[in-house]
Amino acid sequence: MLPSQRSQFDIPDEVTFLDAAARGPLSRRVRAAGGEAMATRGTPWKVGREQLEERAEEVRGRAAELIDASANDIALVTSVSHAIAIAARSVAVRRGTRILRLAGEHPSNALEWSRLAQERGAFVEILGPPRDGDWTSTVLEAIAGPAAAPLAVVALTPVHWSDGARLDLDLIAPAARRHGAALVIDATHTAGAVPLNVRQWQPDFLAFPSFKWLLGPYSMGFLYASPAYQGGEPLERNAYNSRVDDCGDWTAFAAGARRYDMGERGTPITLALANAALEQHLEWGSAAVSERLAYLTALLARHLEALGMLLVPERVRAPHMLGARPPTDARKLVARLARDQVFLSERQGVLRFSPHVYNDEADIERAAAMLRAAQVRA
């Protein structure tokens, strides 16, 4: 198993950070890369545009490698919401059709679908939450819905962001395809935590940011656009996603998914941070990261059950995120634990624990001990 990587981070012994799903820390190596890039901003004449182009392509290539795509299929975007807005511009949504999404979904993969539905006279069907935690059956039943309106889009995440409940995309993706729907995946809580392969799911679009499980910078996200969707209209036109045509005008698009690249894509600091974070992650490997996190969440689950918390059922538990409903107020518990230097999040009444490679057994024991003490005091 991948050993603890804590020595690569500046996390004091007394801090237990179990909140990678909110924002991951940058490792020493990533910050060093960012520091070097920062220095070059004082001497712009030393960094040519070609070098920034090369760096952008390096980042694109590494993001592609992470999800087993080709670099041509990846756009560099600011955020997941940016990516979803691009996808929403491209998918065919006609009057009277349905867009499926999960209940309690993150706004970045929810609000744009409501806007699109309103614009086109379509409607958003909001699924769940299922009583037994089985999102997969809920989604499959809705996709099949024999009496339902035609299906235009299935907009999903493989792991629910609030509590880490897992959806089986191996079943859902082919079902969506059979019904002729576009499949748009928010892989925020998958990329970097769990092996991810676009060849397996064949989504039309798939988006992920760098600042959470990839332990990279803010304002750098990735959009996979399948070859069939590489002719769409980007949200903005800029010098990065366009190119000069034979007449010298900026009328042509850049190749492949690059046509969706953001403006100011060549930010040297962000590119350097993202590149180092992706390189570091690819060295660890998603499977090894996932295995380590599954080990830590399993240790934690035993403690939480003993404390009387209601956990996401084991059969749908993601390896890296663990949602637990406490008998007392979740928000108060999170605030109490933060005072004891144990950091996690509350989402929709659930305690959300999200360890990463810098966590170890001592962190789990400490979190459990502090929770026990906090519950006794409550």
Ligand X SMILES: Cc1ncc(COP(=O)(O)O)c(C=O)c1O
Nearer to ligand X, 188 or 290 (CB): 188
Site stretch for ligand X (CB under 6 A), options 10-18, 64-72, 181-189, 324-332? 181-189
Nearer to ligand X, 209 or 242 (CB): 209
Residue 106, C-beta contacts closer than 8 angstroms, at least 6 positions apart: 80, 157, 161, 186, 188
Cβ of residue 279: shortest distance to ligand X, in angstroms?
Answer: 21
Site stretch for ligand X (CB under 6 A), options 106-114, 115-123, 325-333, 357-365? 106-114
Q: What's the rounded Cα separation, in Å, for the pair 212 and 187?
A: 11
Q: Is 256 exposed, middle or buried (0-12, 13-18, 19+ CB in 10 A)?
A: middle
Binding residue (CB under 6 A) for ligand X from 81, 136, 241, 267:
81
Contacts of ligand X in 43-62 (CB under 6 A): none
Nearer to ligand X, 321 or 371 (CB): 321
Give the amino acid at 108.
S
Q: What's the rounded Cα separation, in Å, for the pair 165 and 179?
A: 25
Nearer to ligand X, 80 or 276 (CB): 80
Site stretch for ligand X (CB under 6 A), options 185-193, 224-232, 250-258, 367-375? 185-193
Binding residue (CB under 6 A) for ligand X from 24, 34, 164, 209:
209
Nearer to ligand X, 156 or 370 (CB): 156
Q: Which residue has the tokens 């509590």?
A: 163
Residue 141, C-beta contacts closer than 8 angstroms, at least 6 positions apart: none
Say whether residue 366 binds ligand X (CB under 6 A). Answer: no
User: C-alpha angle with apex 77: 73 to 78, nearest 5 degrees?
Assistant: 160
Nearer to ligand X, 209 or 326 (CB): 209
Residues in the chain: 378
Say whether residue 186 binds ligand X (CB under 6 A). Answer: yes
Hey, how many other C-beta atoms are within 10 angstroms of the C-beta on 349?
13
Contact call for residues 98 and 149 (beta carbons, < 8 A): yes
Binding residue (CB under 6 A) for ligand X from 16, 97, 109, 267:
109
Q: Cα–chain-centroid distance for residue 87? A: 16
Nearer to ligand X, 135 or 161 (CB): 161
Distances (CA, A) of 250 to 57, 158, 234, 338: 21, 38, 14, 52
Nearer to ligand X, 157 or 270 (CB): 157
Number of residues this chain uses to bind ligand X (CB under 6 A): 13
Contacts of ligand X in 145-164 (CB under 6 A): 157, 161
Contact call for residues 195 and 10 (beta carbons, < 8 A): no
Site string for ligand X, 215-254 (x = CB under 6 A): ------x---------------------------------
DSSP E strand stretches across 128-213? 151-156, 182-186, 205-209
Binding residue (CB under 6 A) for ligand X from 62, 101, 106, 292:
106
Judged by the rule CB under 6 A, the positions of this chain that interact with ligand X are 79-81, 106, 108-109, 157, 161, 186, 188-189, 209, 221
